Structure 1
Amino acid sequence: MSETTVTALNDADRAYELDRAHVFHSWSAQATLDPMVITKAEGSHVWDAEGNRLLDFTSQLVYTNLGHQHPRIVSAIQDQAATLCTVAPQFANGTRSEAARLIASHTPGDLNRVFFTNGGADANEHAIRMARLHTGKHKVLSTYRSYHGGTHLAVNVTGDPRRWPSDNGSDGTVHFFGPFLYRSPFHATTEAEECQRALEHLEQVITLEGASTIAAVVLEPIPGTAGVMIPPAGYLEGVRDLCDRHGIVFIADEVMAGFGRSGKWFALEHADVVPDLLTFAKGVNSGYVPLGGVAINEAIYDTFTDRPYPGGLTYSGHPLACAAAVATIRAMEDDRIVEHAADLGDTVLGPGLCELADKHDWIGEVRGTGAFWAIEFVADQETREPLAPYGGSSPEMAAILAACKRRGLLPFVNFNRIHIVPPLTTTVQEARQGLAILDKALTEARVSAQ
């Protein structure tokens, strides 16, 4: 064993001890935690405390779109640090300005103004604040199967169980059912029926809540954490029409789906829809330095041309984060990363996952696009009973996860699903390797469960 490896392992032991002594982890019961120590990362791989190399099919929390330690991003951060590490948001600086220009060059329609935040949750908080001030209305509508962030308002807009402990029903948030044919709340049997009935349901919610009270509808164009549910054709266009008819701001949460994840720069491009506000984070700079933001259309921008916007952040448009964004977007353009993600989905991930579904009876459905896929695991394909309960886990899902890790794959697991969300730079060979590992892990876990 080399001296470098010994040092890394010793550092890993200390990292674990200090973590358990001092670090308070999110979304967790602290006493039951046994966190994996990551000692280094490169490209599509990470290394754990024992020196095992794992293929990262999580992109961490679905944000390392250009993989780990991308040389252009690392160099950009280093160069920026040598020139200007930080500057307060009231001053202009070239790196922030260029980041805003590059983002605006890819956002749809007239979303040409960018308000920078530190991440996705505060981006959604500020988008909602802008919508409320612009319309003079208060309520915000969002779907049950959704995730919009962990800050107070954002988590109340969220539709998954993480909302429950903080939801006192006092933040003006109202939830409705989005389309999801596999578990249709509308008893639909086709995508067309699901689309029509979901839009009729949303229109009824708007009518019963009172359009005069509703500031915004917040949607993930492709819900991410909730299950990578591709909306049926016509749904997003229908939401846009409802918002227009009722004077409601349409906020698109592209925090996870944006910047190439779905095989388009933004997931809305699959439907050719332009929202009033678009929130982003994660993939904008591959998560190398925290950064998020709101892209704003001209109508909402005009609301604040003479009226001060009552909001801001100390680190808004931080130079190190913006330098990482500039490098990320330029690398995506130069290396045709979005096109590669689309091709990866069309030729490797999509067909490969369908083959796994034909082979393994625990798989109820696979769905996705680009490098953005989910496998829905069920105990019974006929009844579609989930292999783990909503908001929880199960021995079967734990066995699948353990088998994947033993074989060198780090999967993204949520309830009864595994999300296939590798870096957009993942090679065809790496993608196939990951699917092969998953295939073997499913066989092993299924045999052990019998």
Structure 2
Amino acid sequence: MAKIQPIENVGSFKELPCSQCDYITRRKHNLKSHAMIHHSSTQFECADCDFVTKYKSKLKSHMNVRHSSTEFKCTDCNYVTKYKYNLKSHMNVRHGSTRFKCEQCDYVTKGKHNLKSHMKVRHSLTEFKCTDCDYVSKYKCNLKSHMNNCHGSTQFKCEQCDYVSKDKCNLKSHMNLRHGSNQFKCEQCDYVTTWKPSLNTHMNVRHGSTQFKCEQCDYETTRKHSLKRHTNARHGSTQFKCQQCDYVTTGEYNLKSHMNVRHTSTEFKCSDCDYVTKYKCNIKSHMNIRHGSTQFKCEQCDYVTKGKCNLKLHMNVRHSSNQFKCEQCDYVTTWKPSLNRHMNVRHGSTQFQCEQCDYETTRKHSLKRHTHAQHGSSEFKCTDCDYVTKYKCNLKSHMNVHYGSTQFKCNDCDYVTKWKSCLKVHMNVRHNSTELKCGNCAYVTKCKRY
């Protein structure tokens, strides 16, 4: 692959080249990591099985998980783990009496870093201001990203085509996808990819000899997080209970989300309009869409959007020459995830079987939906009426329709709804001037899904 070079001044940073290939970086640890992965013959082998890795830390983690008999037990309940850090986190969340209180409001948390983040967002007077425009942020990394995207003079140009980007990682991604000569091939089948992580995932899923087995049933998987999710769902004795109502869950994140929605008074308000939400990510998205001045333009047509991911999607669909072809039929697509989904549905040998009946499917979420509907014993009940459902999303919808006080208002007319998705559709149909045209005929629509 051709060496990546900036068009203009890169500043006073020293570049560190690799002595064995064209790799260049400004960070010493990146060069060290690159040399270890691509040019080092050193490997760390497990003495008890065939596990091999180039990282000493991964071998240590493997030994602790697969071959270690050491366990850390909670003294107050039946919780057991092989990681000391997990036990420490469990003690703080489940049995910790230490609480960190905000001195300026009623916010209380058991995590010190949570309080620190709260102080920055809600009460911090420190702001990072852009010297070239009115952009202001409480996070230094956001200001740095803003400067690079909006006012950065440094550009990275592709030597093989007209592609130009202000982000070095974007150029690197472009080189791999459009001109990448480096390909990672599977030694056991015909699978080829330009991304090494994709090859690692392929090896684990299709040819992985490493199996994570459930100690309480016959469940096996090649993915560690799948075993963890299975254990919590099928055999999990640990439950997280809400201290203010009867809500119970096996997921710590679910309890945190429940507390934020049901029992917290913290709200994030838009400084430019009446928009209010309990989620920080929502207020950030709202600011970019409704009040953001930054726009991303397509260099090949008149398409303009405020979302960077939308521009990326547009480029792949409208102007990308990359095509992913199915080796077993005539299916062709410009989206690799679509090809993966096609392979699983049409030609997939991987079958997800129900443990309680003869149901089989090639889609994992279909098995999950089947298990909940046909064999699920857990039910989600409304605290204010007799409504009962087996699906958490249904209960959430029920609460929003009948008891939700949050409303989404259109800023251009009197339209009001309790559904964010409905407001988004309304804005696209009623007030959006952007039209999507078919490349093969005269069809025009304002809705992307149509």
TM over 0.5, shorter chain: no
Specify the structure having the higher radius of gyration (Cα).
2
TM-score (norm 2): 0.18
- Of Structure 1 and Structure 2, which has the larger fraction of its residues in helix? 1
TM-score (norm 1): 0.18
Give the number of the structure with larger relative contact order, counting CA–CA contacts within 8 Å between residues 6 or more apart.
1
